[in-house]
Amino acid sequence: MLNIVLFGPPGAGKGTQSERLKEKYGLVHISTGDVFRALNPESELGKLAKSYSDKGNLVPDEVTIEILEAEVSKHPNAKGVIYDGFPRTKAQAEALDKFLNAKGTSVSMMLSLVVPEDELKTRLIARAEVSGRKDDADPEIIQNRINTYNSSTAPVANFYIGQNKLHEIDGVGSIDDITQRLYDIIDA
């Protein structure tokens, strides 16, 4: 199984590039952010997730891990999975390892998109126009998401460095160029 963790700060282009990788390699794309946004906003779980995501805070690990595992389990015959926006904490990374090991598989690689903070903010503000996402529209919430990334999520890369699985990719340039950089690493 090809299990790709696509990593990077908010606005790095994970969703856009996931669509390309999914097509080319026939993978299932799982974005925990998308899963949370698709929950019924009237349900308890939907309300809970929204109370965190609208402010740019992480949804608690227990809930996130359970949701992720349920999502993966919907695709028992997948050739592989792109994990987009998961794991975002060390506890999530450990849970994913355990979950995949129990299935006799493991994370193949972490592809980390590197984009400077100024560029991220410009992209997210522009995205707010089309996404209608509350967390894209407010500069304070964007800053909180970036800070949360730096404090809680960026260290997750160390977990994969320890396993020799981290690849950093320059996430600035044309969408096509960045896709090609990702293909080159996956095909190597």
Question: Footprint of ligand ADP on this chain (CB under 6 A)?
Answer: 10-11, 31-33, 36, 52-53, 56-59, 64, 85-86, 88, 92, 135, 145
Whether 37 is catalytic is no
Catalytically annotated residue among 50, 55, 121, 133: 133
The candidate with the shortest Cα–Cα distance to 96, out of 127, 65, 117, 121, is 65
Whether 145 is catalytic is yes
SS3 149: helix
Of 9 and 179, the one with the shorter C-beta distance to ligand ADP is 9
CA distances from 183 to 14, 130, 163, 186, 187 (A): 14, 28, 21, 5, 6
Whether 121 is catalytic is no
CB of 187 vs ligand ADP, minimal distance in Å: 26
Who's near 106: CB < 8 A, 6+ residues apart? 3, 97, 100
CB of 185 vs ligand ADP, minimal distance in Å: 21
Whether 127 is catalytic is yes
Catalytically annotated residue among 14, 55, 79, 134: 14
Of 130 and 188, the one with the shorter C-beta distance to ligand ADP is 130
Of 172 and 187, the one with the shorter C-beta distance to ligand ADP is 172
User: Alpha-carbon distance 95 to 177, whole Å?
Assistant: 33
CB of 179 vs ligand ADP, minimal distance in Å: 18
CB of 23 vs ligand ADP, minimal distance in Å: 20
Provide, for the chain, the percentages of residues in helix, strand and coil under a 3-state DSSP scheme, each rounded to the nearest 5: 55, 15, 30
Of 2 and 48, the one with the shorter C-beta distance to ligand ADP is 48
SS3 111: strand
- In this structure, what token pair is assigned to residue 181? 């950089």
The catalytic residues are 14, 88, 127, 133, 145
